[in-house]
């Protein structure tokens, strides 16, 4: 029988404060972590160094943006799931992600319904979703997709750990 030993490092109070603040909305500025540092009376460099440590230690997997569609002026939104051959997933994902109306593009494994493995979030302030999808099909040749239209936006929150 094998056992995995997991050692939890106890965070310092400074690290806990940083972890608490970076879970909240981060300022949309050229130097967002300078403001975080100012709040904690730390330098931007100290904040970034601590974040790097969190990443290296596996405490942080990613930073992500949450787009509030309606507040950003987008009236039409849809999640489009694509059935993309495994050999084309990366190239197709890169093509999709380059479209200016795509905010999210990610692979799902296992695939939804056993075949829809690439998901894109499309936003439009007027042009029809179907015409945007037509552009994507033309660019990639991928024509097997399923559309889930956004009818209502719910409150988006992430879990907080501190």
pLDDT exceeds cutoff 80 at 80:
yes
Q: Which CATH class is domain 76-149?
A: alpha beta
Q: What residues contact 150, with CB distance under 8 A and at least 6 apart?
A: 69, 77, 78, 79
pLDDT exceeds cutoff 90 at 137:
yes
- Segment 42-69 shows an average pLDDT of 85
Domain residue ranges in the chain: 13-56, 76-149
SS3 90: helix
- What's the pLDDT tens digit per position in 3-30? 444 445 688 999 999 998 888 877 778 8
- What's the pLDDT tens digit per position in 86-98? 999 999 999 999 9
Q: How far is CA 29 from CA 24, 25, 32, 48, 95, in A?
A: 15, 12, 5, 15, 28
Which pLDDT belongs to residue 162?
61
- Segment 48-66 shows an average pLDDT of 85
Can you point out the beta strands (E) in 4-162?
Answer: 76-82, 102-112, 116-124, 145-149
Neighbour count for residue 37 (Cβ, 10 Å): 20
């Amino acid at each position: 029988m094998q056992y995995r030993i997991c050692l939890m490092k106890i965070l310092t109070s400074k690290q806990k404060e940083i972890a608490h603040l970076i879970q909240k909305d981060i300022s949309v500025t050229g130097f967002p972590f300078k403001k975080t540092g100012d709040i904690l009376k730390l330098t931007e460099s100290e904040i970034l160094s601590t974040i790097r440590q969190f990443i290296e230690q596996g405490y942080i997997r990613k930073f992500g943006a949450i787009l509030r569609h309606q507040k950003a002026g987008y009236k039409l939104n849809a999640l489009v799931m694509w059935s993309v051959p495994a050999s084309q997933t990366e190239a197709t994902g890169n093509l999709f992600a380059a479209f200016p109306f795509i905010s999210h593009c990610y692979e799902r494994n296992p695939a939804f319904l056993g075949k829809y493995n690439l998901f894109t979030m499309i936003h439009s302030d007027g042009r029809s979703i179907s015409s945007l999808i037509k552009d994507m099909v033309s660019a990639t040749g991928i024509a097997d997709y399923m559309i889930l239209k956004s009818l209502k936006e719910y409150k988006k929150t992430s879990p907080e750990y501190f």
